[in-house]
Chain A
Amino acid sequence: MAVAAAAAIAPIAAPSDESLLTGAVVGDRPSLEELFRRYGSLAYRVAFRLLGNEPDALDAVQDGFVKALAALPQFEGRSTFKTWLLRVVSNAALDLGRQRGRRELLVVEPLRDDLGPADDPAPDHALQNEDLRRKLQEALDQLPQAQRQTFVLHAEAELTYREVAETLGISIGTVMSRLFYARQKLRTILRPWMT
């Protein structure tokens, strides 16, 4: 009886990325929605750091997901779907940035249409952070593309050195080198705000 009760409340195992991918590729919408729920937010944050504005970042996420699913045969499971997706999304973001050039960074907060409770910090604090975010974005824009992509994948997506290396197809030594030079430049530019 106890065993039966335990079985009844045991959580159902979440489907693996692989099974979701199989479904998404053949047009199964729930599979795609679940993949998007798992990785959409992370992909967006990476794209946003590389592009600096919401509309372009969402376009990069869209392009990245479409390309990642279309090129799935090349994926071959040699890395995780997460790192594969981040590779494609970050490349899509860089392509988009080149095509569109730099947009003016928007000062306004993104439109809230989720009607959720307002849990934003105090307005002056938010403005201060927005100003800081713009300074950081300007500093990021000054990095060479390869350093920027490497740094964002590590700092925003929290990929390990090995994962960044696998994602970008470079050595761990190159990852370390790029991170070092990226940080050095960011620290120089952002010194006044690093208190």
Chain B
Amino acid sequence: MMSEPADPWKPSPELLAAFVDGELYGPEASRVEAYLAEHPEAQAEVADQRRLERLWDRTVPAQPGRAAWQRTLDRIFAGPRRIEPRPRRWTFVAAATALAAALALAVWTGMSRPKSSTPVAPWPVAHNSEVEIVRIDGADVGAIVVGRLPLVGILELANAGEVEITGMQQTNNRPMVQVEGRSPMIWAKLESEQ
């Protein structure tokens, strides 16, 4: 007695979502539709996605008033917005420290070199809390970058003492921990690998 061969085909969750989003056409859409008709658990998945859509639609942001629109339009017409720096508690202290350091350097260089008629301008020095690293081009930083690929946005830096490497793993030639030179980098899994 022969049993009927089970249909091994099953749409991936991404394909199912694409069907709900109306992104599938023709035979591909028909195939998913036929699958849904026979699989209640997949229908539940679809219903869940639609519930999220309804929730999203219920929370459409309120539009600004006419005056706010007009102000925005006027500013666009006027050109680039002036960036207003965030107030920082330590800015003054950092600036004073930087100025003192620059002055000390100026005095030191003034004592050790022939005097010049050109005044020495203080060097701008920023405190590390005032710096936001948005990109690192090289591996010449003395810290470990903890992040998730692709590396976008603010990078989290950890000192070596704050991280303990408990194991290393190879996944499709992409090391989970890459140790090159002085700056090991920990790679998190790609979205598609999760």
Contact = CB atoms under 8 A, between A and B. Distances in A.
A99 interface: yes
A63 B81 contact: yes
B110 interface: no
A183 B56 CA distance: 11
A32 B153 contact: no
Q: How large is the interface on B (under 10, 10 to 19, 20 to 34, 35 or more residues)?
A: 35 or more
A142 B86 CA distance: 23
Contacts of A54: 61-62, 64, 68
10 contacts: A44-B63, A58-B71, A69-B76, A100-B86, A113-B66, A136-B56, A146-B191, A154-B21, A178-B191, A187-B48
A66 B52 contact: no
A133 interface: yes
Interface of B: 13-15, 17-18, 21, 23, 48-49, 51-53, 55-56, 58-69, 71-73, 75-77, 79-81, 83, 86, 132, 134, 148, 150, 152-154, 191-192, 194
Contacts of B60: 45
B61 A48 contact: yes
A137 to B, nearest CB: 8
Nearest to B51: A194
A129 B58 contact: yes
B62 A177 contact: no
B52 A190 contact: yes
Contacts of B58: 129, 132
A25 interface: no
Contacts of A59: 81
Interface of A: 27, 29, 32-33, 36, 40-41, 44-45, 48-49, 54, 57-59, 61-63, 65-66, 69-70, 94, 98-101, 109-115, 129, 132-133, 136, 144-147, 154-156, 160-161, 174, 176-181, 183, 186-187, 190, 193-195
B59 A183 contact: no
B69 to A, nearest CB: 7
B64 A110 contact: yes
A32 B73 contact: yes
A9 to B, nearest CB: 31
A111 B66 CA distance: 10
Contacts of A154: 21
Contacts of A195: 51
Contacts of B48: 187, 194
Contacts of A144: 148, 191
A147 B191 contact: yes
